[in-house]
Structure 1
Amino acid sequence: MITEQLKRRRPISKKRGFTLIEIMLVIGLMVLLVGLVVTNVDNLFGTNQTELVRFKVKESFKTPLTSYRIHMGSFPTTQQGLKALAVRPEGDGGRWRGPYIEGEENLKDPWGRDLQYRYPGTHNTSSYDLYSLGPDGTESGDDITNW
């Protein structure tokens, strides 16, 4: 009778699962990777923000400012600033055909500060100066400029 019961039992499977040590090792590696990513997120996004504003300052405003100059006869004054690209300036004589750029939020850098604009430029004397104060928000070596 006992031998019959033993014969009816299923044979022991040769399939094996993961050991506790293997599972702990995988979890430890995952925690290490997440820790590395979290500590470097600021560096990753900081670089992307700098590249974004560099493109914005050097390239993105060329067409809107050139279109404004063609219609109005000159670039916006320093006093009018970049806002003249989004909102009709006073005394435009009916020549303004904008908006040349959509939304005033596009006139800011990735850190939420207004882009700095000067016409006539002190660095680009025949054109305009356009720059961001960079991540630190002050005029310093990390400024991103169009000159």
Structure 2
Amino acid sequence: MFRKLQDPSLADTLQITVDGEAVGAMEGETVAGVLMRRAVLLTRQTPVSGMLRAPYCMMGVCFECLAVVDGIASVQTCLTTVRDGMCVERQRGRRTVELEVCSGRDFTEDGEREAAPPREDEAVRDEKKI
């Protein structure tokens, strides 16, 4: 599908990490180009159905090439130029959100939400009125 040009002046001069594996890349090459040249065709799973996706349009329209780049999720790899030391991971499924644990005073026994305690600046303002 994609192959590297055999011009010696275009040798892999940069090193990136793809899913924990060191991969050579050329300066000016896109992350999606490196992935496709290395036969890493699947870049993500859709969050709803879990279907596998790969770069498609290579011009930033379809959003099928999303991956985690240097810890930032949903980066369009077809528009992202490689940098030496870059870390790329495929996005797998839904992102997880850690929920804060509710303290016992957030809800009454009836399940109704209690009013939030006054903020510190409001408490100071109320004291000045007295």
* TM-score greater than 0.5 by the shorter chain: no
| Higher relative contact order, structure no. (Cα contacts within 8 Å, ≥ 6 residues apart) | 2
Larger radius of gyration: 1
Normalising by structure 1, report the TM-score.
0.19
Q: Which has the higher strand share?
A: 2
